Chains A and B, each alone.
Chain A
Amino acid sequence: MAILSVEQAVSVKLPTALLEHAANQQAIFVPSGTIREVIDALEERFPGMRFHLCLEVGELRPFVNIFLNGVNIRYLQGLDTPAPAGASLLIVPSVAGG
Chain B
Amino acid sequence: MSTRSTPLSETSATTPTAPDRSSRYSRQTLFAGIGPAGQERLTRARVLIVGCGALGTNLANLLARAGVGYLRIADRDFVEENNLQRQTLFEEDDATKGMPKAVAAARRIGHINSQVTVDAHTTDVTAENIEDLLDGADLALDGTDNFETRYLLNDACLKMNIPWIYSGVIASYGVSMPILPHETACLRCVFPTRPLPGTTPTCDTAGVLNGIVSVVTGMTATEAIKLLVGATDRLARGMTWIDLWENTHERLELPRMDDCPACGRGEYAYLDAALDENGVSLCGRNAVQVRPQQAMRGSELDLAALAERLAPVGEVASNGFLLRLRVDGYEVMIFPDARAIIKGTDDPAVARTVYARYVGA
Residue ranges of A at the interface with B (Cβ–Cβ < 8 Å): 13, 15-17, 19, 26, 62-63, 65, 67, 70-72, 74-75, 90, 92-98
Contact = CB atoms under 8 A, between A and B. Distances in A.
A98 B144 contact: yes
A42 to B, nearest CB: 18
Interface size range of chain B in the complex: 35 or more
Contacts, number: 96
Given A62-B195, A72-B190, A74-B257, A96 B201 contact: yes
Most-contacted residue by chain A among B51, B55, B200 (CB, 10 A): B200
25 contacts: A13-B248, A15-B173, A16-B245, A17-B201, A26-B248, A62-B194, A63-B191, A63-B193, A71-B253, A72-B190, A72-B252, A74-B192, A75-B257, A92-B175, A94-B147, A94-B190, A94-B195, A94-B200, A95-B175, A96-B195, A96-B201, A96-B202, A97-B206, A98-B167, A98-B203
Interface of B: 51, 53-56, 142-147, 167-175, 190-195, 199-203, 206, 208, 239, 241, 243, 245-246, 248, 250-255, 257
Secondary structure of the B contact surface, majority rule:
mixed
Contact of B200 (A65, A67, A70, A93): A93
A97 B83 CA distance: 13
A92 B241 contact: yes
A15 B53 CA distance: 24
Contacts of B147: 63, 94, 96
B55 A16 contact: no
Contact of A17 (B145, B168, B193, B206): B206
B190 A96 contact: no
A86 B252 CA distance: 19
